[in-house]
Structure 1
């Protein structure tokens, strides 16, 4: 079996033209280099140098030198890529996130990662939390960012922050005239456009028993268009209301339970890739230093990097 290291020794000796200089380059003793060359020639069953002085290659040596240089270049490139993958400097990261996080939190994080690591490729899917859970559990994406999955699933959850719900309506809507936080009675007295973001929050779920409207929409852009058209009001996480139209307003709800918890969603028992870990660290750092989210509940480093 021909070893890569033996070929590297041979190519170095061929380039230097003698064992002594090659040994200095390789940081090995003259005898170790000589023994490596002898073993290589034994493995090939033919001489690579015309004389023991190693300054002239045989015809076989010339061809082996060319092939060995090509092999070593490819070997070195491949090794560098493997190291880059292990250090998170290269690779593909597939993420699924709820739309508000994808729009408000991820752009600066992903831009910084691409600027620092030219070999990284990122695929981002924005969808509701239920779909985020499904994409992580089926392995379509490595990491999800959304609400907590139901108990008993094959998913783990690391909470990042709580995001309170807000009622979004037109500024000329009757609810916009109320000066204090809105009670459930205030809200249920008016038509609501339901959406997936309130799943799990009793009273405003899409299929809840006391919903105020049969009208529902999944896309935030569609929701905003319906609200602007006067079709009703809607309930959205505060993070999703930071860029609403000027003719709309986001009103506080008088209900401490009116919030969603957002966090990392991962396959239970799995290990995140180095590039995924680097992304998680960057996002946690952004949340720690930004006021864009409410009620931070950040994990420790060993929690968010399982």
Structure 2
């Protein structure tokens, strides 16, 4: 059987015109390369070079080179692709994240991730937690960064951090003048605008307030615009209020249970691709610094 190593030695000698230079490239002795060529010629049943100088090919040698040269290049390229993919440097990664995480947590992480993987393709979708989960279940994305469902839904959740919820209102609102954390009874009668984050908030006092709400807005930009226009008030994760429009303020809530949980979500029973696994490692390494930077809490604190 003709070995790939023998064909590579033949092509390398042909490219350099002599055994000495080829031996250096192949990290082998000259005698080993010479013996490999003789064995290859024996396998083929004819000489590959016109003389011992290895500077001119026979008709057989020219034919073998025409066939083998492209095959070896394709072989090497295939191995590079396989190795790069297996080590998490190539491939395609689709990430869906809630807007606050996409805007504040991911930019610096993805910057380093992409710089180290110039051949990888990364798609980032920013949307609410419910849509993130639906995208994962449909197979439209590989990883999610969002709040987990309250009931089992076929997704695996790795807790990342918790984010305190805050009351968001127009700066002219009477509650904006208060400095102490707000209790639920102080929100009675407010024009609460619901958003998807609040679907996981189970406090009975909040559910009573939510039952009287007549307005729900899913998009964060639109929601803040409504508050800026004094069309109502809402409750949002603190991370989502880092860049508020003029005239919009936040106030802390007294209920310690008012938090948003953010987890790394993936389909249960599926092994992540090497590229996804590399991203998960980088994300987990960066989280402690991000938690200090944005005043986030440990998971489920």
Which TM-score bucket, shorter chain as reference?
0.7 to 0.9
The whole-number CA distance in structure 2 between the counterparts of 1:277 and 1:287 is 15
SS for the counterpart of 1:255 is coil
**Conserved 8 A contact 2:162-2:259:** yes
Query: Could you list the per-position Cα deviations for residues 126-175 of structure 1 after superposition, in whole angstroms to 9, with x for gaps in the alignment?
Result: 11112211222232211110112344332111111111111110010122
Contact residue 167 and residue 236 of structure 1 kept, 8 A = yes
Q: Quote the residue 2:111 is aligned against.
A: 111
Residue in 2 that maps onto 1:294: 296
Looking at structure 2, the residues matched to 243 and 205 of structure 1 have their Cα atoms a distance apart, in angstroms, of 28
Q: CA deviation at 1:53?
A: 6.2
Which residue of the partner structure matches residue 222 of structure 1? 222
Q: Do 1:203 and 1:210's aligned partners in 2 also have CA atoms closer than 8 Å?
A: no
Query: Which residue in the other structure is 2:11 paired with?
Result: 11
1:27 CA displacement? 3.7
How far off its partner does 1:49 sit? 2.6
1:35 offset after TM fit, Å? 5.5
Tell me the residue number matched to 2:88. Answer: 88
**Equivalent in the alignment of 1:233:** 233
Inter-CA distance 109–24: structure 2 relative to 1 (3 Å threshold): closer
Q: Deviations along 1:6-54, whole A, 9 cap, x unmatched?
A: 3201112324545566445434466654554455446556542335664
Structure 2 portions without partners, runs of 5+: none
1:153-302 matches, within 5 Å, as 153-203=153-203, 208=207, 210-211=209-210, 212-289=212-289, 290-297=292-299
Q: Distance in 1 between matches of 2:253 and 2:164?
A: 8
Number of equivalences:
297
**Which is richer in helix?**
2
**Contact 1:287–1:293 (Cα < 8 Å) also in 2:** no
Native 8 Å contact 1:196 1:218 kept in 2:
yes
Asked whether the 8 Å contact 1:158–1:264 carries over to 2, the reply is yes
Residue in 2 aligned with 1:301?
none
Aligned to 2:70: 70
CA distance, structure 2, for counterparts of residue 205 and residue 3 of structure 1 = 76
- DSSP 3-state at the match of 1:291: helix
Q: CA deviation at 1:62?
A: 1.8
Say which SS state the counterpart of residue 168 (structure 1) adopts. strand
Compute the TM-score of the two structures, normalised by the length of structure 1.
0.85
Cα gap change, 1:151 to 1:32, in 2 (>3 Å): farther
Deviation digits for residues 243-295 of structure 1, max 9, x if unmatched? 11131111111101111111111122322233223322333333312321421
Give the secondary-structure state (helix, strand or coil) at the position aligned to 2:277. helix
Listed as ranges, the gaps of 5+ residues in structure 1 are 299-306
**How far did residue 119 of structure 1 move?**
1.6
Please, which moves more after superposition, 283-292 or 90-99?
283-292
Q: 1:4 to 1:235 in 2, by over 3 A?
A: same
Q: In 2, distance between residues paired with 1:137 and 1:31?
A: 60
**C-alpha RMSD over aligned residues:** 2.7
Deviation track 1:64-90 (CA, whole Å, cap 9, x = no partner) reads 224433332333233223222222222
Aligned equivalents of 1:254, 1:266: Cα separation in 2: 33
TM-score, length of structure 2 as denominator length: 0.87
